[in-house]
Structures are given as structure tokens and as C-alpha cells.
Structure 1
Amino acid sequence: CRYCHKAQTSDEARSFQTVAHEACLNCHFKLKALNKKAGPTDCSGCHAADRQAAIQRLEDIPRIRRNQPDHLLLSLWLKDAVRTGEPSRQFISPVAFSHKSHEAATESCYVCHHASMDPCITCHTRIGSEKSASIRLEKAMHSQRSMAGCKGCHLEQMKDKNCSGCHSQMPQKFLPENDCTGCHSIQAALLKPVPADPKLISAIAEAEIASRKAHWSLVSETEIPETVTIDIMKDQYEGATFPHRKITQTLSAGAQKSRLASHFHGTEQTLCAGCHHHSPLSLTPPRCASCHGLSATPDPDGRPGLKGAYHGQCIRCHQEMGIQKPAATDCAACHKPKTGPDQRTSGVDIKGQAP
């Protein structure tokens, strides 16, 4: 409806608000007059959050067919090559895209096709156009701020509580720092000669998507320490015994629920980087004290001291994931108050890991 009925009434069509209220309410009133089950007929019935929550959601919504391909290759140069019959000298691996899976994950086509049902390139040309407010295709697809683009939408998924414990604490990389092959994965050999048949293009995309991992796996349990006792700073409190294996497996189970995470968590050790950040992926990462000192004053480059690093990471993760216990202010829940003489040590005790 929104493609014709915009926010404001125009010479071509009435506003979306007007037609939506007329279509919905007229139907509800007609059913109610016939003593049949009907939807709300007052404002709060649709617009109040508590009454919205009580409305039963359809689980199996029929797919709307609007001549969209199930699978396609997103590539501007390929589109030009199919049109001209000449391969491009500036090869960038196309993106295999599934309309079918994305439709199931969004409310409507309008989420991505925000202005019309036309392909993105209609407005977002290589150099931008008046229709796109000069926003180029590359910018539209990779914008971190727009839900209509690939990157912006994927970043929004990271706000899910199963993801945000780690991702909320990770600085966003600039585009050149990212590994483009996670999306741009179609090899040049598959496109020689240039596939002019839309069915062949769709088949290439479908095969690439089918080859992607549907499920991501964690490293072997024997490689994950069962507990880690952090007592390098113990003074007023005893060391904190961290249930390392349990937490790692819980995070892994959350990631398994997302096919997006399964694809982009490229290796078994990717999840480890959520805490063991700024160092190469490894089963034996450097200890936190390798980079964070005992001083309470942050380093000139902004790195917090060890106490700030531990508390900041643990508490932020709990807040983002909605974990109520232990509370951030309940110190004794993680490390018991110390009662004996000072026995400050300078190590971390790791247990439960195979030799």
C-alpha cells in the first residue's frame, strides 16, 4: 500500500493513514454488525502496546509473489555485462542473495524496497541520481545507519540479546577493514561466459547460498577451560571464579539460533573474540593483564586498567543480554569478601582444560 499511498495526501493518492484506517475499520465494523469475530474498532485497540501484544500473530503468512526471483546475484557490472554482452574489466565478486529467506525475516517488502518495488539500481545508480538524493548504490548497500541496506540491517540484528553481549562492545570497523568475501563470494570462473539467462543466474546464486553453513560449531569442549579464577587483584575481595565453559556454551547456543551468525562466525574460535579481543584468534589467547595494567588510570590510548576492563566487560555483557543475576552492584555474588590476611597474587588459575 505504501508504494502508492505516501505519508501525505497527494494529487495521485490519499495518505496511507487515511486508507489504512478506512480499509481496516470499515471491515471491522461490517463484521461486528454481523455479530462475527472482528478486529478492534477503537484507537487503543491497534495503537496501545498492551492490546497489540494480545493480538494473535499469524505464524504461516502466505508469500506474496510479485515476480521477484527466489535467488539472484547482486552486481552492477554483471547487469551491464548481460545487457551489452561484454564482460567487465573491473570485476567485483557478486553477492548471492535470497529473496525467499529475507522475506521470511522481514515484515514486508517495504523494509528494503522503501520507495518502490523497482530494483535498487533504478534510483541508486553507480554515481547516484536525483531520485536517490545522490546516494550511490555502494553507499546504499553498505550504510550502517539504514535498515534498507544490507549492512545496516545486519548491524541491527546484532542488537538481539543473544548477540549484543559481545557485539555492543566491539567497535565498528570502517568498510575497507572488513572482509568483503563474507558477502561478495561468487568466483569469476562461475561467470564465464557471462550468464545471460536469468534462470542460470538464479541457479548460481542458489548453489552458493546452499553451500553456506546453516549451523556454526564451537571448539571441542575439552579445549575450553571449565573455570577460570581471576585473583590477580584480590584485596578486599577474594578472586572471582568464572564459569568459562558454561558461559561460552551459552553464547554458542544463542548464536546457533541465527543463520546470519552461523555464516559470519567464520571459524570455531570466532566467538572467543567477543572477550579475547584485539588479538589473533587462538585457543591460547593472551591474558587480559598482557594489555591492561593494575593502574586505575586508563592508558594514554584509552585502554582501561585491569579492574575497569574486567568489570566493564562483564557488567556490560550482563546488561545487554538482560541477565538480572548477579546484579552489577552485588560485588559478593562474584567474589566473596576477604576475611583472612592479604594474599595478593599475580596469576590466573585455569581449570578443566585438557593438557
Structure 2
Amino acid sequence: MISARRDKFNSEFTNERYQSLLKDIASDFDYLPTFRIAETPFFIPSELRDQLIEASHQVVDFIRRKDFKSITQRAIDLNTNVPNEDAHTQFLAIDFGICSENGELIPKLIEVQGFPSIFNFQENLFKKLKAHYPFLKDMTPFFEGISEENYLDLLRKVILKGYHPSEVILLEIEPEKQNTKIDFYYCKKDLGIPLVCVTELIKENKKLFYLDENGQKIQVKRIYNRVIFDELDLRKDLKLQFSFQDELEVEWAGHPNWYTRISKYILPYLEGKYFIETTLLSELEQIPNDLENYVLKPLFSFSGSGVVFNVTPGDIAKVTQKDLYILQKKVHYEPVIHSPDGKVKVEVRILALWPEEDIKPTFVCNLVRLSRGEMIGVKFNKDKDWVGGSIGLFEK
């Protein structure tokens, strides 16, 4: 992409240096992430960066519509409605595949989530990369005037909102077993908030409490929510002392309803050069003749679960809740990263923070996933190198 940067990185890359990077990451918590960390960052030229921002602004324009809640109310009706929803989401993750159209590179929207991503890990990954590749110090993964110095300040503002860190919890289902727990560890280190499992919360009247490391009962004033309901629904073995549908005296850093509203549900409404043809299955008038060029996706699943890549008419017929699925045209990722033994495909996730009092979100950082397989995702990249999670870097 940025040829000089790519040539410089590839000339300095060795497997020993890569292993040293991994050991450095693992040294912080005596833990190496279970997801694969890619060998390289993605060097993003200014033209593509500007396209990613333009496309993300178009997504945000739709989300900021005055009738957005009425448009997406059906999504809430089909799922769990959590009381005390706030005015807007506080987190956005906007995924783009890097594709080619008429011989030019262009980002194509794959998915949008009104939910946190690995905000803390990405910032720390950048620090590690700079330590092992010093020539990256004059590059940045940050947008819109965001710096390393004020990035954590904004994240702290959104998650803590002035509360003492002990009064704010990162809530998850068995956080120690989650694939993204490296992000939880960095969050605890950077912000000082505890990691709490949903089964550990104690409900008294409308208040929630947890026991700290000394066994002291602490009231929860604010929840940094990382719980995905489709995972929670599958865990019939878990015994909770509260329900997300209870009226609770607690604030949300990431109200659960926004995961439902800002999801694949909004994709059929988005039109323009950065968006892909997407149809709600209940609105599908006839099955396309070129069905092999489409993907069948559940609206509210996480991490690609339930997605059917090689769709047949039988797959569509088997769907009983057609309000809960979309048929989306496949996009063809353009392999743009030159690795030592071939080219690699890329997906870029734009990360945004939206403090409660702000009229619009701030694009802050990014996450990148590299793939050699048919699609982005672990199961398409088993036993491959130069794939996995990374970060995109821009020239300052």
C-alpha cells in the first residue's frame, strides 16, 4: 500500500523479531492472546484513509437521523429490551473490506456494531510494534487529531464518566474464558476497573454489587458492558441474581440496546458506493439466480457465528424467522499486502467513541484483520502465516 513502508518493514522482518514481539505482549500479564496476532501492520495511504473516514461519516449520518430509533425499534422488539436506554451509543465499530472496483481500491462496509471492541489492546499493540520496529514511530493509528496522550483520556471519559474506578465494572460472561480477555487485562491496567462475571453480581432491591479482592461489597454505579445476549442465551448453566430487563439503579457505558439497534439490521437501509446490496430475508421477493454470489447472515450473531457462505435455496427455506436474517452480496477482497510469499487480504475496523454529551462520535483508532483464506475469519486461515489481528498505520 505505502510501498516504501512495506519494503522497509519486509526487509527488517524476521520470524525471530516476530516471536520477540509476541513474547513482549505475553510478558505484560503472563498471557498470550488466543487469537492470532499478525506479523505486520497495514500501511494505509492517505487516499484510502480518507475514504474510510468518508464512508464512516455516512454510516454515522444514518445513525444520527431523528427517526433512527423508530426505524430500528423492530430490532428491539425481536430481542431483549433493556430499560433506561440513553440517547445514543457510546461505542461504534465499523468494518470495511478493502476491495477493488474499476481498477481502484475502495472500502466496502461489511458490518456495523454499536458495541465496544478491543479499544485498550489496540493502543498497547501499537506501543509494542513501535518498540520492536522503531521506524514506525513517525506513523499513527489514530484519527482526527487523537494522540496517544488524549486517546486514553477520551476512553476514560466514556467508560468512567467521572466515577471512581472501583464503582465501574467491566461486565462479561466468564471474562477469563473469553477470546478477547487480553483487552480486559489492559482495560483493568489502564483504567483500574475490575473484571466481573455476570454470575458474580449481587442484586439488592434495584442496586447491584460485587465483592472486591478483599471481599468488600461495592455498589456498581456504571457498567462497561461486554456481554453479548446471543451468547448469554446459550448459557443455560449460568445462574444470575439479576436480569438485564430489571429496572436497575445503574448507568451503562454501552447500553445493551445499541448492540441490537446498530447491527446488520441497518445494512439494508444504507445506499452508496461504500455499501453492499443487502436484503432482509423477510423482504426478499425472489431468490437471486446467482445465489452463489451471496452470503446468508443472522442479524444479531457475534464473531461470524451462523453465517452461511455457500448459500443454497434450501438454506433460505430452512430459516423460519426471516426477520432475523439478511442476504448480502459477497464482496471480493483485493489482496493488497505484500508478504514474503504472496499477497494478503485486509479488513479494517474503524473504532469510535461517543461521549454522552457530544452531538456526534469521534473516530479514534482502528483494528485490522488479515486473511489469506476465502473470507476473513479464523476458520478460513488455519495454519497460515501473515494473518490475524493487527492495526492500520497512517503517515502523520
Same-fold call, TM cutoff 0.5? no
RCO comparison, higher one (Cα < 8 Å, 6+): 2
TM-score by length of 2: 0.20
Greater share of helix residues, 1 or 2? 1
- TM-score w.r.t. the length of structure 1 is 0.22
Q: Which has the higher strand share?
A: 2
Structure label with greater radius of gyration: 1
